[in-house]
């Protein structure tokens, strides 16, 4: 490399703006498909749940399907090898942190605090030994997980096309956590796989305000509430950009297929969705004021669900939290 090229690269890196701590990121793939709210279990032939942990989890959104497959996780101490799918609030927080840190670093290599207290502080998980154990379990499960995304479409000749991409989350992990150490010391390192970084993290990292996110994290125990807020922020951004006046109704069935396959009935899903909406409204009332609840009492075959409105909409409608 000649001197002028090296100098130009140094100048470019020097002039690059520092990452904005007020902005965080979450992968668009998981905004649209979510993560399991609780540890998935296998089902018997008749559909009833068993006590056996599932090693695969699937979710659909339109013509796209996401399949998550558990990788091998070696637990420290016992060295027991398990197949664990990431799930729950702690998994959502760790995925959020991994994406945000990778975007800020501009690459797939992420340094971690070497103490448990430091790591949990960075991820915004309250400290206690139980949370520390679960955070390590979920971090290892996330990094070992395989992601398959399949899109079904039709080409120019009218032939059906099925396109699948696959990747694992982490390509290399070195975790050296101590029980008490310098909170700011960085010894452990995670390297996201290049495929995951390119296709999931850098393809569309959905930006949002760090402060509002942290407020919501502190106020709820529900992973659905966190993921629902991210999804609404993302969808409402496109509503504002589109300028569409004829706003479609998103049916409860569509919402449940995307967000609630762990919930056994549509009634329970609606109740859960509205409960999360009310939690969000406590932190972000302006956002929830743009979500209309669409009911159709007495109308046969009418679509019911929610309708999303642009910022300047006249709010003469029943909101989801009413």
| Bridge partners (DSSP) listed for residue 82 | 73
What digits encode the pLDDT tens for the residues 166-175?
A: 999 999 877 7
pLDDT higher than 70, residue 3:
no
What digits encode the pLDDT tens for the residues 185-195?
A: 666 789 999 99
The CA distance from 172 to 144, in Å, is: 10
What's the confidence (pLDDT) of residue 309?
Answer: 93
What's the confidence (pLDDT) of residue 301?
Answer: 63
pLDDT band at 184 (very low <50, low <70, confident <90, very high): low
The residue whose two tokens read 């995925």 is: 95
If you average pLDDT over every residue of the chain, what do you get?
86
Three-class SS of residue 75?
Answer: coil
The CA distance from 88 to 221, in Å, is: 9
Is 19 in contact with 193 (CB distance < 8 Å)? no
Is 193 in contact with 167 (CB distance < 8 Å)? yes
The CA distance from 74 to 259, in Å, is: 30
The CA distance from 217 to 129, in Å, is: 19
For the ranges 3-7, 213-217, 237-241, 244-248, the maximum mean pLDDT occurs at: 213-217
Give the residue-averaged pLDDT of 11-38. Answer: 80
What digits encode the pLDDT tens for the residues 62-108?
A: 899 999 999 998 877 777 788 999 999 999 999 999 999 999 999 99
């Amino acid at each position: 490399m000649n001197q002028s090229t090296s100098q130009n690269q140094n100048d470019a890196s020097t002039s690059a703006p520092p990452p904005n701590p007020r902005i965080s990121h979450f992968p668009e793939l998981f905004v649209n498909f979510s993560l399991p709210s609780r540890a998935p279990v296998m089902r018997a032939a008749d559909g009833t749940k068993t006590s056996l942990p599932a090693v695969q989890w699937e979710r659909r959104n339109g013509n796209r399907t996401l399949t998550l497959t558990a990788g091998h996780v070696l637990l420290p101490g016992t060295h027991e090898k398990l197949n664990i799918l990431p799930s729950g609030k702690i998994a959502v927080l760790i995925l959020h942190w991994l994406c945000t840190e990778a975007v800020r670093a501009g690459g797939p290599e992420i340094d971690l605090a070497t103490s448990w207290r430091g790591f949990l502080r960075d991820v915004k998980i309250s400290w206690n030994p139980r949370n520390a154990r679960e955070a390590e379990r979920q971090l290892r499960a996330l990094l070992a997980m395989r992601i398959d995304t399949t899109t079904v479409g039709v080409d120019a000749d009218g032939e059906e096309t099925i396109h699948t991409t696959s990747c694992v989350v982490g390509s290399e992990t070195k975790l050296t956590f101590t029980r008490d150490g310098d909170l700011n010391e960085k010894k452990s390192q995670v390297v996201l796989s290049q495929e995951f970084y390119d296709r999931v993290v850098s393809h569309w990292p959905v930006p949002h305000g760090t402060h509002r996110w942290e407020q919501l994290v502190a106020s709820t125990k529900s992973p659905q509430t966190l993921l629902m807020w991210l999804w609404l922020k993302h969808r409402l951004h496109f509503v504002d950009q589109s300028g569409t006046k004829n706003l479609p109704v998103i049916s409860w069935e569509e919402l449940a297929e995307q967000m609630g396959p762990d919930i056994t009935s549509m009634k329970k899903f609606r109740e859960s969705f509205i409960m999360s909406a009310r939690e969000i409204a406590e932190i972000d009332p302006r956002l929830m004021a743009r979500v209309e609840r669409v009911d159709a009492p007495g109308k046969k075959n009418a679509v019911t669900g929610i309708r999303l409105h642009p910022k300047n909409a006249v709010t003469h409608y029943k909101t989801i939290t009413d």
